Structure 1
Amino acid sequence: MRSNTSKQRGGDPGFRYLKMFNYLMSNVGQISGVELRSNSLKDSKQIHSSGHVNSVKITQNYLRKITADITADAERLQIISFSQNNILEIKNDTFKGHFDVEHIDLSNNTLRSLPDKNFYNMHKLKFVSLARNILTTLPRNIFSTLNELSTLDMEGNSITHIEITHLPFNNFQLSYINLNYNPIIKLPVAIFYIQGLKTVDLKYTKITFSALWSILETIDILSLLISIAPVVDISNDIVSNLFPEKATDFVWRNVDLTGCKVSGFDWTEEQRTALTFAKTKLRIILSYFRFVLTDNPIDCFSNNIVFLIDLVSINRKNGIFSGNEYFFNEWRCENPIEFRGRLLFKIKPEETYYKMHDTNCPSECACFFRYNKSITIIDCRGANLSSVPESVPPGLIDMWLQNNNISMLNFRAYFYNVRQLYMSSNSLRVI
């Protein structure tokens, strides 16, 4: 490969014209590529490539805008990398006509938005990296024509939501999506529709399950079933095929939510008793998708987990779950403190309780109601109390007063209703 670099006459003395020529070397094959790394290039008009160029890599420079000038006359281009520049803008026709490109890397720039036809008709494109830019959203259908795309990396942007139109859910090759370190709050529904998807990284996003029920209700069950079992016959009776038999080469589809904000599932009483497809969709999703919830603040209060425990227990009895699924051995409680580290599905419903709001609850304490029992827990552990609270909610009481500075146990009228009194690690001198 030879290159011709010369100053443009009568123009900017900093302008460089780069033209690539190809030739065959015996026993080596065709050499075609240009790499301009760690230079001081600032203007895409300074660079032009033509001929049979397999790759163009212009990285660690100071480009602010990318236009079609760089690659317009390049033929057989397969690899494009403009990573680690200061790119703010990409023109809509930048990659126009490059139908053979398989790899585009635009990572580590300062892109705030993308043109809607940025990758249009690039049918051979397999890898796209937009990682570590400052994108806040994506154009509708931006990846819709990328039928061969297998890896999509959008880590470290400022994307707050992913809509169905943002991902190529009709793509059968897409196996990996990286959305780590984006401020996404809502679990993207589109990940349940992509047939070839193996891993979705959503680590250290802001995803919670507070809207999980509404998410389940918006999932199209037909698209979900086609995704997990594309050869199943669902034309006649959708209900009889809700749990298609798993293939012998079945592997879990990983949804990694490590370090997110999943604290609970927040079912309402109406949702728990509703006869909807939401429960069925949840069973299907738990059967095929592996949710990694490491380092999440999972609250194992009864209003969060009892419904889930009961749902899983019923489906285990019905043979839907075997008891060896990942969530039996991986999902652990973070709160309350006495459940910390315990496996969620090892907790018995009768052990659990949920927070209650009562004006008689001592201001320094938290009050809870035991699941399925008429017992109130007054949790004053570590509240730096010097005396026993004067008033508490009515009814049977469990008093948790551990780790305070109480020196005298003064009688209170509500003591007649106290079922359990815990006062370890205080300064008691008089009872």
Structure 2
Amino acid sequence: MFVEQFLGAQSQPCRVSAWQLDNNHISCIEDGAFRALRDLEILTLNNNNISRILVTSFNHMPKIRTLRLHSNHLYCDCHLAWLSDWLRQRRTVGQFTLCMAPVHLRGFNVADVQKKEYVCPGPHAEAPSCNANSLSCPSACTCSNNIVDCRGKGLTEIPANLPESIVEIRLEQNAIKSIPAGAFTQYKKLKRIDISKNQISDIAPDAFQGLKSLTSLVLYGNKITEIPKGLFDGLVSLQLLLLNANKINCLRVNTFQDLQNLNLLSLYDNKLQTVSKGLFAPLQSIQTLHLAQNPFVCDCHLKWLADYLQDNPIETSGARCSSPRRLANKRISQIKSKKFRCSGSEDYRNRFGSECFMDLVCPEKCRCEGTIVDCSNQKLARIPSHLPEYTTDLRLNDNDISVLEATGIFKKLPNLRKMMLRSNLISCVNNDTFTGLSSVRLLSLYDNRITTITPGAFTTLVSLSTINLLSNPFNCNCHLAWLGRWLRKRRIVSGNPRCQKPFFLKEIPIQDVAIQDFTCDGNEESSCQLSPRCPEQCTCVETVVRCSNRGLRALPKGMPKDVTEL
């Protein structure tokens, strides 16, 4: 609905000082829509579907002092630049007026967005009007019979400003990376959404909220790793859900709780190792289920799935076990219940399935068996950035790791008991390197190039009983005196690491060196002088450095030399 339709033809000025039009279905405001309301002081249009406000819409309201437009769908392109200027000149009038599209401006105050940000695609963007056709089709798409077809157009984000009457949108084979909050909420009549074969890795939990008429949702061929909590809640009419060919590694037990009418569910070709008991229980109408090409661990926790598939022969893709070895490549539905057994480590690992911890999948180049993650002898230059939360034994021996970065990764490993870093290229250990490893009992740094260890480096290792520091070229100067005291005080198994410098202390166990013999000549550094691995204001993951929204006034210093994305 447009405002002129709502108001009707006003041939004579109206003496109205306040008008509340909240909670309607207004989608567009035409030029001069309020020209008959010259005495209007308060106008509220909150919680509508307004995406366009045309130039001069408010020009005939000289007395306006309060304008409210929050909870709309304003599209901040070149055609809305005028409103930014208008609001800047009247700072107290239109507070809480926010952009909702394009994606990079979502949530910004209209008055605060710089004029250069208000751009339109194409050199000759036609000014919109408030007629039924003006909102019918994005420039890159074709539209007919309430179907918007944007297939293979190179789109990087979901188009906004679509007609509310659309019943189907086709967005497959584009370059869309995310589905933002409320992306489809205003299109209540949608029955089919196809966003397959894109690059989607991030979906807002309320992306499909309120779509009670939706019957088909096609998301296959993307990079989805996790289904956000509540993503499919309220989709009571959904019959087809295609999630195949993604990287989904776990599903919360209530993921499909509202999908009583679902007929076909495809989870084919993902990274699922386990699924929680009761996951498919709400699917009262399910007829076809695809689970093949997932690395299922067929332990005691997957017994329920075998029973379910035997009672409900709906899995038609031939899902098979990946491990343990005795069940590898056997069809899950054909394995007897007694074959699904757990060792202690398997039991510990898979009982987390319903919580959907990140990265249940084994890190690249590593091998996982039970709760052991073995990344040894893989020529790794750094510790993998994501490790499974269930890990109790981490093996990183015989690699090329030279720096133990304080990335906080160990804070996510509360169950780690054993950490092996033997035969790497580590030269220094900082005091925040092992933060978070409160459960580690054994730490091996044997055969590295460690010359010094910063005071307090092992303080957080409160459960430590064995540490192997042998075969390292320790420089026993004044800065290593703390380690001698620590080894004597803790009385843990250490193998008696020995000094290599200075010459007069060579091969003497560090804990046996007298305090007065730990000396410095004044030119020696007090701690690890590592080149900065991450600028202070930024966060770094592997070779990606993120410094957005940090209030920077200049490029940050200390950028890693191997950065690939900034």
TM over 0.5: no
| Structure with greater proportional helix content | 1
Higher relative contact order (CA 8 A, sep 6+): 1
TM-score, L = length of structure 1: 0.43
TM-score, L = length of structure 2: 0.33
